[in-house]
Structure formats: structure tokens, C-alpha cells
Chains A and B, each alone.
Chain A
Amino acid sequence: MTSSMRKSGVSSGRLDAASVQSNFSDLHPPYDDHEALVAADRCYFCHDAPCVTACPTSIDIPLFIRQIATGTPEAAARTILNQNILGGMCARVCPTETLCEEACVREIAEGKPVEIGRLQRHATDVLMEDDTHPFTRSASTGKTVAIVGAGPASLACAHRLAMYGHDVVIYEARPKGGGLNEFGIAAYKSTNDFAKKEVDWLLKIGGIDIRYGRSLGTEISLDNLQNEFDAVFLGMGLSGVNALSLEGEDKNHVDDAVAFIADLRQATDLTTLPIGRRVVIVGGGMTAIDAGVQAKLLGAEDVTIVYRRGKDAMPASKFEQDLAQQKGVRLVFDAAPVGIEGNGSLTAVRFAYTEQQDGKLVTSDETFTLPADQLFKAIGQTLGPVPDNIQLEGRKIAVDNFGRTSLDGVWAGGDCATGGDDLTVTAVAEGRDAAEDMHSKLMGEG
């Protein structure tokens, strides 16, 4: 094992199957029943609870925890899913340490919040294991809605619309639904193919048809969707990736972190997935952390994440930073890449320290070089092609508080639209709320 860890270049099988399996096991393993009761017992059932305010989907957290405490986790799950149909995935991937759990009054009292995320997982797991769907579809309204993309925003939107009796068709570019739940997000947060299982479970509401391999601008056009359907929701996320704009970016093993994570999530055998001996990641968000930690877990010997600003400015939470360091990933702050070295294949990345000058971040003359077999770029994603006539704000589709775009009858939500923090949970909230607005519009017109 040791020898394959030290093997130079980019190579698969650095660790044996057992080590990989152990490395990629559940980051937050599920509670057993006793643990869930003990954890639930700590909730104070706060009035107008800060945790609910902190949740982008406004789940009634005190109520669902009380329902766990009184032995009805199924009722708890319904409380969760009423607000957030992807409550199972959000329980796993939400940065609870900066959302509900940060707001928990126990955090103030004892520095140890009620473990809301794990309790939410307990409740939703119990209900989903039952293999029934807790919601029923209203009688058909005869209205049709097209949804572009099958990620969290689209799925939440589709489920709510289907529940109201509308007929929904989802067009998804990839061969599978789930969006970043399926293709992004670290594997140790969504084990046992949960993303796919959750999509299958969600579709049991009925009235949702997913057509794969259809992307906006190629197989489908917004014009046609507007003509064929009563309403359209755009939830296709961000398909482009920012480039470093450095010479040598085309060298072998200079890769996009999102593509690496997607390959990892889709791999059936992680020991066949190649990874560098020395891996460098440029970026400071969740993608950078997910790529860095997983590179380490695959057996990379040295993994370094380099972020151009300071620790406090890093978009990845302190919990995620700590996780990376605990797994042996080195975090380097205040440095930006200035050169990519190597003949054909990458051998090293050159960085310059950064500093503030007149309120702008600039690189200094002080540089250092990190030997690298593989470089992952994790410096943000961009909107893919959209029709010219839709109004953008910054680099995203402009939407109002109801998710309405500048085009009549077209709504948008999730990462492709303005607003929100590019989290699964905010995407769900946006998809759900757009569906509510679409529903009232559709029925008002009828």
C-alpha cells in the first residue's frame, strides 16, 4: 500500500479496497434509535426558534424534533418534507454549522448545539425506508410545466407542481437526475447511492416525466418550451467552469475539480480512479474542500489547497476547513497561481503571495512553487448558454422574489439564478417557492 502511495504521477489503486471503503464511509453516520432520543431530548422547543429562521427552507425544527422525542419519527419526517422535499439530502449536505446549528440556543448556552442535521436524517431515513410516499397528488389540472435541469431546485419545483396536479416534464442534459446531489458533493456525505434513491422516491408523487440527454440550446430551446407548455422553470445550474487564464492550463492533469468530483461520484470502483501523488487545488469554496479531501482519501500523498485570500474570508466553513486539515490536507492562504510548469504533463504550480492594494487584491513579487502531479481548479462555475432575450444580473439569470425571470411565464431558481448561497437547501427553497407562484398564476389564468 505504501509503495503505491508513493508512486509518482497520476495513478489509480493507491489504496486497497478496504481502506478506500473505510475512507469514504458516512461522515456523519446515522443515529440508532437510542442516540436519536437522547439527541432529541436536548431540544428546548424554542418559541419562534432561531434554527427555523436560519433554515433557508424554514423547516419547523422544534416540532420535528419533538415528534422524534415522542416516538413518531414518521410524523417528524412529514414536518420536514412539507417544507423541504429533499430533506433527506439536506440533512446530509447542509452546512448546518453555519445554518440551523449555529443558531441553536444550545450553541449559546453550551457551545454544543442540538445535532439538527443528524436528527433530520434519522427522521427522513425512517420514513424513506418504509418505501411509501407521504404525499398524494391532487386531481389533474390539465396544466403543463417544462423544467430545465433535474437538480435540487428543479426537483423541488417539480414535486410541488405535481402535488398540485400539474403535469411536469423535466429536461436533463445528463443521463441521470439529482444535479449536484448526484454529480457534485463529497461522496462521504451521500453514501449508498442516496442521491439516486431520493430522486426515485421523490418521483413516486407521479406526474413527473424526466427526459435525459436534453440540454438547453442544443436539443431543446426556450422558445419551443414556452410554446408547448403553460409555464417553464429554469433550474439547470451552472455548467461552465472558470479558467485560471494561465499559460500551460492545457497541460495533462490540469483538471476541473467539479469534473473530478463527478467522476468520483459515478465511479463504481474507487480503486480504479486515478489520482496524483502530489495534488494541488486552487480555490476556497466547498468544491475545493470536497476535491482536496477526496484526493487525500483516494491515497494522494500530499494535498494542498491554495486560496487567494485569508482564512476568515474562505467561503468554506470552519467545519469544512477543520475537516480538510484533520484528513491531512494542507491549507495555504493568501496566494494565487501565477505559473504552471512541466513538459506535457504538469510537474509543479508556481504561486505568488497576495496582498491588498487600494482595496484590490494583487499578487506580490514573493513566490513559491509546489510540486504537483495534478492540479484541480475550483474557482467557481458559470452559467451555460441561455437565450439572448432573458435578462441577466451579474452572471446569473435575474429573478424577483417569486423566482420570475424577465420573460413572461418563465421562472428560474437554484444556482443558475440570482439570490441564495448556491446551497442545495437554498435551491430547494427557490424551486418550491417558484412552484407556489407558478401554481397561483396557472390557476388564476384557468
Chain B
Amino acid sequence: MADLNSTFCGIKSPNPFWLASAPPTDKEYNVRRAFDAGWGGVVWKTLGMDGPPVVNVNGPRYGAIWGADRRLLGLNNIELITDRPLDVNLQEMTRVKRDYPDRALIASVMVPCEEQAWKEILPKIADTGCDGFELNFGCPHGMAERGMGSAVGQVPEYIEMVTRWCKEATDLPVIVKLTPNVTNILYPAEAAKKGGADGVSLINTINSITSVNLDTMSPEPMIDGKGTHGGYCGPAVKPIALNMVAEIARNAETRGLPISGIGGITTWRDAAEFLALGAGNVQVCTAAMTYGFKVVQEMISGLSQWMDEQGHASLDEIVGRAVPNVTDWQYLNLNYVTKARIDQDLCIKCGRCYAACEDTSHQAISMSPERVFDVKDDECVACNLCVNVCPVENCITMETLEPGSMDERTGKVVEEAFADWTTHPNNPSATAAE
């Protein structure tokens, strides 16, 4: 059996699945249930300054988009940090950590951008026995209007400054949670590293309006006729998160910086993909909010089975394994030629591949009067659209043309040699990439 034990920034947990700081980790009751269900760790719902807690809206906090059969694909929220007193949270965290010593308990923190505020609160929280801190520089709504959350996370200088204060205030690991609402994720990641962060976690939620009520002409979720942008998460954001994780993992300045991957992780496979792209562990929220805490059991059994099948004994053997294969467009091999292949036994003759190709691509699929669909090799540019729109998994696949064989579209023999944008003889603008 594969060993799922995880060590992230020195923090140990029995598996790499943590619950992200969010409503599911708001209080002792939930966190105990989460640990009982099998979660390896939790990042407690963000703690704020001592004193009267924040006040949330009293109408809907969540908006959503759905796929077919009302499958929840994207969720947004306008909830703030914890709206319960700091002392109550700290007492609960102390009890939970005492009763679940083998699980990771991380405190998410967000206080005003003042040195004293951070330096006062961290030691107080550390007394709970928590394993580390996550600095919430990501929350994009509400708190950002008060100069916190993503308002800090969008200014690399602030990130570096606050991270440095925190590292001065505690010996525990400090993880910086990054907002994706920036032009380039590398700047905040580099700033966190310069400030001394032990790791980063990303992505926090994305600015979003999920829908508009066309009767009331108000954005959803609607509060008394008005709406505001919320933080978007769930399966729909996974590709954005994967890219940002990979960018940090392969960037020379940040390479080796531990990354806690967050963004739409719903199944073991999603988690494995984040790990492969350099995440040391993963954090989950929307999947738990959609399906309940039990969903982690599939993640554990699936990751374990896949690792066994692949012969990976521990997480170290997976983390970052796909990073060397993430590159820039200009380094992709232009001599790599594939053609679409339709498995006629699996084909259900819906014609979606034909419509997609004929109307919007390269007119490379033929359709017979008997509804037999075939690829025209002399037209197929291997764009993959037919594969993506086909409703039957593995019915359409891409076949790699062997070097020496003829590409009927170009009339040229497939070259064995590697040739990318910078070296391909047919590319007149090769130097433009320099």
C-alpha cells in the first residue's frame, strides 16, 4: 500500500488532503466531523483581530453555476472571515488539536496591515498548539475593501513586509495564501519568498458574478436588490489554479518553495494532478461543501490505488513529477504530428465531431449517408476539438505519426528531429521569439 503520509513545510498529516480555510472549518463541531471522516488537516476559518467580530450579510452568501443534471461546477461566496469571537475560536482550536494530535491544524489569519497587529496575534494563536499559520492575502470581497485580504495580496511589497513581520513573530511555519486576482502570480509568490514564507497556498477565490436575476436586474447572490462580486471556486477554476501552481513550481525564483494546491479539487485525480505539477499537498473546500466531508474517502482510496498501480511508494515520488514537462509555447516540438482517429465500434453516431470540425475547424471529418464519420488525414491539423466534444470517452483519440511516415495534409515526411518555434526552418519569425 502506498504511504499517503504527508509532510508540508514540516507539518505532518496522515494524508495530503486538508480542508481549506472556509465555512467548513469555521468551528469545532465541523472540524471534529471532518477529522472523523478522514481529512488529514484543516486550515481553520480565518481569524481576525480581537474585539467585536465582523458581521456577515443576512441574505444569500453563495451563488453557483451548474453543468448538466445540475452538477455544481462553480460556487462563489461573499462571506467574510470568522464572525465568532477570537477567544471562542482559540479555545476550540486548542481542544481539537489536543484530541487530534496526528492531524494538521493551521490557523488562517487576517488582521490590518500593521506590524503590531500581526506580531500580537500570532503568539496568542500559537498557544492553541496549532501547527502553522496561513496568511490570508487572498479573500477578494468585503475584507479587501478594508485594506486586507486581496488588497494586500495584490501588492507584492505588502506581502513581503507582512510575511517578514510574521516570521519575526513566530517559529511556526508561515504559509502565504495567494490571490489569483493579479496579472502575474509570480510577483506575489516571489514577494512571499523574499519575506521568508515557508510556503505558499493557492489559489484563493476569483472575482466573480455568477449570474444576473433578469426579473430584478440584480447580480446573484442578491442582497436586498443589490449584489457584489464574490469569490469564485469549485471545479470550474481548477485549470486556472493548475497553471498558477505550475508557474510557481517552474519559476527559477520560486522553484522549491512548498506549494499547497487549492482550486476545484473534487476527486483523487484532481489531487494527483496538483501534486504532479508541484503542489506538496492540496486543500479542498467546494467538494466538501457540495458532497459532505465523506468525499475525502474517495480521494484517499483513489490516490492510494493509483500510486500502487504506478509503483509510487510515497508522495515524494509524485510531487513535481510533471513540472519538467511544463514549458513555454516556443519550445513545443513542431515536428510532432498527430491525427484524429475515430473508433467506429465505440462511435454512437451523434455527429458532434462533424459539426465542430466542419463548422468551426478544418473540415477534416467526413460524414457518409449512413452516418459513418471518418477523419480526412489530408485536412486534419490534429486540433483535438473532436476529441473534446465527443460524448464517448476514448472514442476519438490522437494517433502519433511515426517519423518517416507521410503527413498527408502537408505532403511532407514527418521528421524525426526536434524543431520548435526557435529552430524550425519553416518559421519566418523564429527570431521574434528571442
Q: Which residues of A contact B (CB under 8 A)?
A: 33-34, 37, 41-42, 45, 47, 62-63, 66-67, 69-72, 74-75, 78-79
On whether the beta carbons of B305 and A74 are closer than 8 Å, the reply is yes
Would A70 and B267 be within 8 Å (CB), given that A34-B392, A34-B393, A37-B393 are in contact? yes
Q: With a CB–CB cut-off of 8 A, which chain A residues contact B306?
A: 72
Bound-state CA distance A47–B33 (Å) is 14
Would A72 and B291 be within 8 Å (CB), given that A34-B393, A37-B393 are in contact? no
On whether the beta carbons of B302 and A75 are closer than 8 Å, the reply is yes
Which of B152-160, B178-186, B292-300, B313-321 lies at the interface?
Answer: B292-300
Across the A-B interface, the 3 shortest Cβ-Cβ residue pairs: A75-B301, A70-B267, A66-B298
Bound-state CA distance A79–B302 (Å) is 12
Q: Does B346 contact A (CB under 8 A)?
A: yes
Q: With a CB–CB cut-off of 8 A, which chain A residues contact B267?
A: 69-70
Bound-state CA distance A67–B294 (Å) is 12
From B266, which residue of chain A is reached at the shortest CB distance? Answer: A70
A37-B393, A45-B292, A47-B294 known; 19 new pairs, CB 8 Å cut-off, are: A33-B393, A34-B392, A34-B393, A41-B69, A45-B294, A66-B298, A67-B301, A69-B267, A70-B267, A70-B298, A70-B302, A71-B269, A72-B301, A72-B305, A72-B306, A75-B298, A75-B301, A75-B304, A79-B301
Q: Does B18 contact A (CB under 8 A)?
A: no
Bound-state CA distance A280–B127 (Å) is 81
Q: Does B268 contact A (CB under 8 A)?
A: yes
Q: Which of A33, A63, A70, A72 contacts B294 (CB 8 A)?
A: A63
Q: With a CB–CB cut-off of 8 A, which chain B residues contact A70?
A: 267-269, 298, 302
Bound-state CA distance A280–B13 (Å) is 66
Bound-state CA distance A34–B346 (Å) is 9
Bound-state CA distance A72–B301 (Å) is 8
On whether the beta carbons of B346 and A63 are closer than 8 Å, the reply is no
The smallest C-beta distance from A58 to any residue of chain B, in angstroms, reads 14
Bound-state CA distance A34–B391 (Å) is 10
Bound-state CA distance A67–B306 (Å) is 12
Q: With a CB–CB cut-off of 8 A, which chain B residues contact A37?
A: 393
Q: With a CB–CB cut-off of 8 A, which chain B residues contact A72?
A: 268, 298, 301-302, 305-306
Q: With a CB–CB cut-off of 8 A, which chain B residues contact A66?
A: 295, 298
Per DSSP, are chain A's interface residues mostly helix, strand or loop, or mixed? Answer: helix
From B308, which residue of chain A is reached at the shortest CB distance? Answer: A74
From A49, which residue of chain B is reached at the shortest CB distance? Answer: B294
Q: Mark B379-408 against chain A: 1 for CB-CB distance below 8 A, else 0.
A: 000000000000011000000000000000
Q: With a CB–CB cut-off of 8 A, which chain A residues contact B291?
A: 45
Bound-state CA distance A72–B304 (Å) is 10
Bound-state CA distance A75–B1 (Å) is 13
Q: With a CB–CB cut-off of 8 A, which chain A residues contact B295?
A: 45, 66
Bound-state CA distance A47–B346 (Å) is 35
From A67, which residue of chain B is reached at the shortest CB distance? Answer: B298
On whether the beta carbons of A67 and B302 are closer than 8 Å, the reply is yes
**28 A-B contact pairs sorted by A residue (CB < 8 Å):** A34-B392, A34-B393, A37-B393, A41-B69, A45-B291, A45-B292, A45-B294, A47-B294, A63-B294, A63-B297, A67-B298, A67-B302, A70-B268, A70-B269, A71-B269, A71-B302, A72-B268, A72-B298, A72-B301, A72-B302, A72-B305, A74-B305, A75-B298, A75-B301, A75-B302, A75-B305, A78-B301, A79-B301
Q: With a CB–CB cut-off of 8 A, which chain B residues contact A74?
A: 305
Q: Mark B258-298 against chain A: 1 for CB-CB distance below 8 A, else 0.
A: 00000000011100000000000000000000011011011
On whether the beta carbons of B298 and A47 are closer than 8 Å, the reply is no
From A71, which residue of chain B is reached at the shortest CB distance? Answer: B269
On whether the beta carbons of A42 and B393 are closer than 8 Å, the reply is no
On whether the beta carbons of B305 and A47 are closer than 8 Å, the reply is no
Bound-state CA distance A149–B305 (Å) is 36
The smallest C-beta distance from B205 to any residue of chain A, in angstroms, reads 23
The smallest C-beta distance from A79 to any residue of chain B, in angstroms, reads 8
Bound-state CA distance A388–B359 (Å) is 83
Bound-state CA distance A78–B297 (Å) is 12
The smallest C-beta distance from B293 to any residue of chain A, in angstroms, reads 10
Q: With a CB–CB cut-off of 8 A, which chain B residues contact A62?
A: 294
From A41, which residue of chain B is reached at the shortest CB distance? Answer: B69
The smallest C-beta distance from A74 to any residue of chain B, in angstroms, reads 6
Task: List residues of B (298-343) whose CB comes within 8 Å of A's CBs.
Answer: 298, 301-302, 304-306
Q: With a CB–CB cut-off of 8 A, which chain B residues contact A79?
A: 301
On whether the beta carbons of A47 and B268 are closer than 8 Å, the reply is no
Q: With a CB–CB cut-off of 8 A, which chain A residues contact B302?
A: 67, 70-72, 75
Interface centre among A45, A66, A69, A71 (most CB of B within 10 A): A66
Task: List residues of B (75-99) whose CB comes within 8 Å of A's CBs.
Answer: none
Q: With a CB–CB cut-off of 8 A, which chain A residues contact B294?
A: 45, 47, 62-63
Bound-state CA distance A75–B302 (Å) is 7
Q: With a CB–CB cut-off of 8 A, which chain A residues contact B346?
A: 34
Q: With a CB–CB cut-off of 8 A, which chain A residues contact B292?
A: 45, 47
Q: With a CB–CB cut-off of 8 A, which chain A residues contact B393?
A: 33-34, 37
Bound-state CA distance A67–B305 (Å) is 11
Bound-state CA distance A82–B92 (Å) is 35
Bound-state CA distance A21–B409 (Å) is 50
Bound-state CA distance A272–B107 (Å) is 75
The smallest C-beta distance from B310 to any residue of chain A, in angstroms, reads 13
The smallest C-beta distance from A433 to any residue of chain B, in angstroms, reads 23
Bound-state CA distance A63–B300 (Å) is 12
Q: With a CB–CB cut-off of 8 A, which chain B residues contact A33?
A: 393
Bound-state CA distance A79–B294 (Å) is 13
The smallest C-beta distance from B234 to any residue of chain A, in angstroms, reads 15
From A45, which residue of chain B is reached at the shortest CB distance? Answer: B291
The smallest C-beta distance from B346 to any residue of chain A, in angstroms, reads 7
Bound-state CA distance A69–B266 (Å) is 12
On whether the beta carbons of A42 and B301 are closer than 8 Å, the reply is no
From A78, which residue of chain B is reached at the shortest CB distance? Answer: B301
From B306, which residue of chain A is reached at the shortest CB distance? Answer: A72
The smallest C-beta distance from B389 to any residue of chain A, in angstroms, reads 16
Bound-state CA distance A177–B5 (Å) is 43
The smallest C-beta distance from A305 to any residue of chain B, in angstroms, reads 40
From A73, which residue of chain B is reached at the shortest CB distance? Answer: B305
The smallest C-beta distance from B426 to any residue of chain A, in angstroms, reads 40
Bound-state CA distance A69–B295 (Å) is 13
Q: With a CB–CB cut-off of 8 A, which chain A residues contact B268?
A: 70, 72
The smallest C-beta distance from A82 to any residue of chain B, in angstroms, reads 11
Q: With a CB–CB cut-off of 8 A, which chain B residues contact A63?
A: 294, 297-298
Bound-state CA distance A62–B269 (Å) is 18
Q: With a CB–CB cut-off of 8 A, which chain A residues contact B305?
A: 72, 74-75
The smallest C-beta distance from B362 to any residue of chain A, in angstroms, reads 27
Bound-state CA distance A37–B306 (Å) is 18
From B300, which residue of chain A is reached at the shortest CB distance? Answer: A75
Bound-state CA distance A357–B301 (Å) is 59
Task: List residues of B (43-71) whose CB comes within 8 Å of A's CBs.
Answer: 69
The smallest C-beta distance from B313 to any residue of chain A, in angstroms, reads 18
The smallest C-beta distance from B253 to any residue of chain A, in angstroms, reads 36
From B297, which residue of chain A is reached at the shortest CB distance? Answer: A63
